[in-house]
């Protein structure tokens, strides 16, 4: 991920309308501070995005959820991102009551001191920032299996790249490695380390072999493998989206939980759309279709199902 961090960038005076603020709504201290800013006159001119609960697409280009939750971030009207103390200086300058303070905070020597203080705060914050609450209806297990699956997907392309010499296949694998790494970061933001599969080393090895073995046979075997995996993943995400829809359709979901579920649904639906595209791209690239390839695809599908069943539990 590329973040344009300009700690020494000029303050966005007079540019309040264009400022977008990404904050960690799961941290009570950050939420309280942002709520205080939002009560001030002029706050409506800014866009306030809860990075802990928003649709990942609301974060905009060059910013993922992990990065947005790790450090206070704002986006200026010209699209550049400011992080840490520079972000606070921009917010203060955007609000009329704190504009003068913001100008002082943006002065590089002051900004440097504030940055040190803010980094200290981030260390302390680990003491109280809660791990995300459990999900209803077995979704915790499903999300653990999504995390295991996206880990495996990353390693499929690492395995393929370790073996493949075909230029088109290497390009395909490199692009897909990037896409799956982005999925993995998205799911990592939802599934804290304590809730991840204990079998991650095994999923990495299994993924690597699932990419490397067909790469020995040639590009068409890799495309057939990717098509089989993505066909399975499409169904797996679709099933979770159905579960969430059923929960949202029922009466027993509190409004805050419903908002959290809608955000999760949007995240999973975005991943699923990508996986469908990956499947179609693999088929269009020339996925092998003979009896051996079909038998291999069936084995890959069954292996994926077995891995998900295991990862749901451990
Ligand atoms: Fe993926
Ligand atoms: Fe994929």
All structural domains of the chain with their residue ranges: 16-125, 139-313
Cα 168 to averaged position of ligand 1 atoms, centre (Å): 20
Cα 138 to averaged position of ligand 2 atoms, centre (Å): 23
Taking the C-alpha atoms of residue 26 and residue 15, their distance in angstroms, rounded to an integer, is: 28
Options 1.20.5, 3.40.30, 1.10.3470, 3.30.1360; CATH for 16-125 is 3.40.30
Cα 308 to averaged position of ligand 2 atoms, centre (Å): 15
Using DSSP bridges, classify how beta strands 20-23 and 47-50 pair: parallel, antiparallel or unpaired: parallel
Angle at the Cα of 161 from the Cα atoms of 155 and 162, rounded to 5 degrees: 90
Instruction: Name the residues around ion ligand 1, CB cutoff 5 A.
Output: 150, 153, 180, 183
Q: Are 245 and 237 in contact (CB under 8 A)?
A: no
Helices of type H across 191-254: 200-217, 219-249
> What's 5's DSSP letter?
B
Q: Are 11 and 92 in contact (CB under 8 A)?
A: no
Cα 38 to averaged position of ligand 1 atoms, centre (Å): 36
Ligand nearest to the CA of 150: 1
Beta bridge mates, 49: 22
Cα 271 to averaged position of ligand 1 atoms, centre (Å): 6
> What's 116's DSSP letter?
H
Taking the C-alpha atoms of residue 117 and residue 214, their distance in angstroms, rounded to an integer, is: 52
Taking the C-alpha atoms of residue 226 and residue 228, their distance in angstroms, rounded to an integer, is: 5
List the structure tokens of 104: 């002082």
Report CA Rg, the chain: 22
Angle at the Cα of 39 from the Cα atoms of 37 and 42, rounded to 5 degrees: 80
Containing 56, the helix (H) or strand (E) segment is none
Helices and strands in the chain, H and E counts: 11, 4
Taking the C-alpha atoms of residue 195 and residue 176, their distance in angstroms, rounded to an integer, is: 26
Burial class (CB in 10 A: 0-12, 13-18, 19+), 144: buried
Q: Are 125 and 71 in contact (CB under 8 A)?
A: no
Angle separating helix axes 291-313 and 139-163, nearest 10 degrees: 140
Cα 183 to averaged position of ligand 1 atoms, centre (Å): 5
Cα 180 to averaged position of ligand 1 atoms, centre (Å): 5
The CATH number given to 139-313 is 1.20.1260
Ligand nearest to the CA of 279: 2
pLDDT at res. 130 = 57
Strands across the sheet containing 73-75: 47-50, 20-23, 73-75, 81-83
Cα 5 to averaged position of ligand 1 atoms, centre (Å): 28
pLDDT at res. 273 = 95
Q: What is the pTM of this model?
A: 0.62
Cα 264 to averaged position of ligand 2 atoms, centre (Å): 18
pLDDT in tens, the chain (314 residues): 333 333 333 334 334 458 999 998 878 888 899 999 999 999 999 999 998 878 777 888 888 776 788 789 999 988 889 999 999 999 999 999 999 999 999 999 999 999 999 988 887 876 766 555 678 768 889 999 999 999 999 999 999 999 999 999 999 999 999 999 999 988 887 887 778 899 999 999 999 999 999 999 999 999 999 999 999 999 999 999 999 999 999 877 777 778 888 888 998 999 999 999 999 999 999 888 888 888 998 999 999 999 999 999 88
In a 3-state reduction of DSSP, which class is residue 40? coil
């Amino acid at each position: 991920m590329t973040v344009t961090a300009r700690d020494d960038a000029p303050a966005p005076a007079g540019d309040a309308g264009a400022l977008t603020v990404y904050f960690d709504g799961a941290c009570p201290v950050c939420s309280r501070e942002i709520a205080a800013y939002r009560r001030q006159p002029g706050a409506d001119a800014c866009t306030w995005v809860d990075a802990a609960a928003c649709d990942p697409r609301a974060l905009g280009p060059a910013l993922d959820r992990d990065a947005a939750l790790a450090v206070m971030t704002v986006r200026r009207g010209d699209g550049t991102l400011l992080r840490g103390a520079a972000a606070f200086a921009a917010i203060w300058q955007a609000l009329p009551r704190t504009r003068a303070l913001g100008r002082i905070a943006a002065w590089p020597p002051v900004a440097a001191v504030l940055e040190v203080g803010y980094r200290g705060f981030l260390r302390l914050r680990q003491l109280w920032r809660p791990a995300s609450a459990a999900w209803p209806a077995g979704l915790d297990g499903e999300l653990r299996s999504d995390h295991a699956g996206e880990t495996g997907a990353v390693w499929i392309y690492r395995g393929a790249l370790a073996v493949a010499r075909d230029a088109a296949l290497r390009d395909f694998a490199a692009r897909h490695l990037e896409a799956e790494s982005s999925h993995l970061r998205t799911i990592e933001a939802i599934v804290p380390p304590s809730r991840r599969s204990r079998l991650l080393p095994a999923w990495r090895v299994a993924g690597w072999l699932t990419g490397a073995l067909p790469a020995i046979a040639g590009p068409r075997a890799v495309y057939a493998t990717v098509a089989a995996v993505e066909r399975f993943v499409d169904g797996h995400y679709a099933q979770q989206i159905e579960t969430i829809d059923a929960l949202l359709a029922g009466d027993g979901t509190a409004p805050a939980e419903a908002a959290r579920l809608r955000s999760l649904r949007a995240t999973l639906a975005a991943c699923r759309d990508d996986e469908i595209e990956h499947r179609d791209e693999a088929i269009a690239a020339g996925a092998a279709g003979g009896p051996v390839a079909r038998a291999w695809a069936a084995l890959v599908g069954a292996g994926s199902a077995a891995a998900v069943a295991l990862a749901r539990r451990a």
